[in-house]
Copies of this chain bind each other. A is one copy, B any other.
Amino acid sequence: MSQAATLTALLSGPDQPGLVARVSGKIFELGGNILHADQHRDMEEGIFFQRIEWEPRSAYTHEEESNAFKAFADNLGMSAQVTSSKHRTRVALFVSKEDHCFHDLVLRWKAGEYNADLVAVVSNHLVIADAAKSYGLPFHLIAFEPGELGKRKAEDVQLKLLEELKVELVVLARYMQVLSADFLKRFGKPVINIHHSFLPAFAGGKPYHQAHERGVKLIGATAHYATEQLDEGPIIQQDVVRVTHRHGVPDLVRKGRDLEKTVLAQAIRWHLQSRVLVYGRKTVVFD
């Protein structure tokens, strides 16, 4: 809720004594006032993680101060991303036919919850086209011809669009297609997916049917970064809701919609606020 513009760094690298002091000392030296600092050590792996947010007070531009900080981190053997609060992340929403996450995200964005610009809605169906337009959002129909080749062609079109629009984050808001490993590699930027189960339970297709079949007493939703391995990417957020024997599959679908919305919305908020660091199959979330 800080009013002034800030810089936020996400740092990670091999742990070593004195890191907290050195990082905060550097920002002090740059004239910055640290507003928030949070760190974590993975003791088993010997890795240090930090999120640090400060109000720059130097004569530098945000870009110059970011670069100065990144050079400093580099010298420490740490990797660092630095984001200015003045930067609005450019986001593309990928959707199919289910529109609940779509409406939820757009309404949050319109309510000012996200420091982001929604630059495109991409779909292989026309179902959501009118809703997107009613919000004033550019809608792109990119249909899939059958087969592997059809998919590759469609992904080429998608990638070209993402590049033209300088998209920095793709959100799969109940997008029912699996992105290819090649797509993820060529896009090279984060992709957040919502899976409608408490992963790793019920990975793959029709998770509510699987859950109903197994007779679980809670159903879940999981927001994660998409990786080559379907439903195996680093988990950002999960939540569950209670169900009983009275709930058939359509009830699970209905109850699950509310879960999917809040879990995905939270994961995106954390991502946009530079609160998520990925390492291996896991995330550190500085909330």
Chain B residues whose CB sits within 8 angstroms of the CB of A287 once the complex forms: 244
* Complex contacts, A103 vs chain B, CB 8 Å: 103, 107
Q: Are the C-beta atoms of A245 and B285 separated by less than 8 Å?
A: yes
User: Are the CB atoms of A258 and B262 closer together than 8 Å?
Assistant: yes
Distance A240 CA – B218 CA, assembled complex (angstroms):
9
Tally of A interface residues using CB under 8 Å: 66
| CA–CA, A236 and B216, complex, Å | 8
The reply on A100 being an interface residue by CB < 8 A is yes
Report the copy number of this chain in the oligomer: 4
- A43 neighbours in B (Cβ, 8 Å): 1-2, 248
Contact of A37 with B37 in the complex, beta carbons under 8 Å? yes
A217 within 8 A of B: yes
The interface residues of chain B lying within 8 Å CB-to-CB of A19 are 34
B21 touches A27 (CB 8 A): yes
When the two chains form their complex, are residues B113 and A107 in contact, meaning their CB atoms are under 8 A apart?
A: no
Contact across chains for B41 and A21 when beta carbons are under 8 A apart? no
Q: Is A186 an interface residue (CB 8 A)?
A: no
Among residues 30 to 44 in chain A, which have CB atoms less than 8 Å away from a CB atom of chain B?
Answer: 33-44
Q: Are A21 and B28 in contact (CB under 8 A)?
A: yes
Which residue of B is nearest A36, CB measured? B39
Cβ-based interface call for A147 (8 A)? no
Chain B residues positioned under 8 Å from A37 (CB to CB): 20, 37, 39
A residues apposed to B, CB below 8 Å? 1-2, 17-22, 24-25, 27-28, 33-44, 100, 103, 107, 111, 113, 134, 198-202, 213-218, 220, 234-240, 244-246, 248, 250-251, 254, 257-258, 262, 280-285, 287
Given A40-B245, A43-B248, 14 extra CB contacts under 8 A = A1-B248, A1-B250, A1-B251, A18-B34, A21-B27, A21-B34, A44-B248, A113-B254, A198-B201, A199-B201, A200-B201, A200-B214, A217-B237, A245-B283
